[in-house]
Amino acid sequence: MQLLAATRKVQAEAAALRALAAAGGNGGNGGNSNGSSRPATATREKPPVPVVVPKEFLCPISQEIMEDPVTTTDGHAYERREIFRWLCTHNTSPLTGATLPNKALTPAIALRQLIAAFAADNPALT
């Protein structure tokens, strides 16, 4: 019975700590780690938020952000050097396996501009 009571107490404390952390709590010391009662200043740094790269910006072959995206005749976009290597030895789509009517590559200008804007907004990725 004592073990059950201790477990419930620990679970309640853990829940309270999670709620405090979610609310941006600071442990009840006014925001200062030195224990003073003065309010914290706005110099506290927030942890970096991980950047999620849209999957449409990744080449399906290399899984890297495309720099020179092109589309094949089936409408799928790839990094130019990756699809060029693929088409040197295949006449099918890497994604669907369907035979391509030709090996023409068309620049995906709008996609390139979107990727460039995303890269400019997230310089840590380049």
Q: Is the pLDDT of residue 51 over 60?
A: yes
CA distance 102 to 89: 13
Tens digits of residue pLDDT in 71-84: 999 999 999 999 99
State mean pLDDT over 112-117. Answer: 97
Whether the pLDDT of residue 96 is over 60: the answer is yes
- Walk me through the domains of the chain, giving residue ranges and CATH numbers: 1-46 (no CATH), 55-125 (3.30.40.10)
Model-level pTM?
0.61
Condensed to tens digits (0 to 9), the pLDDT of residues 58-72 reads 999 999 999 999 999
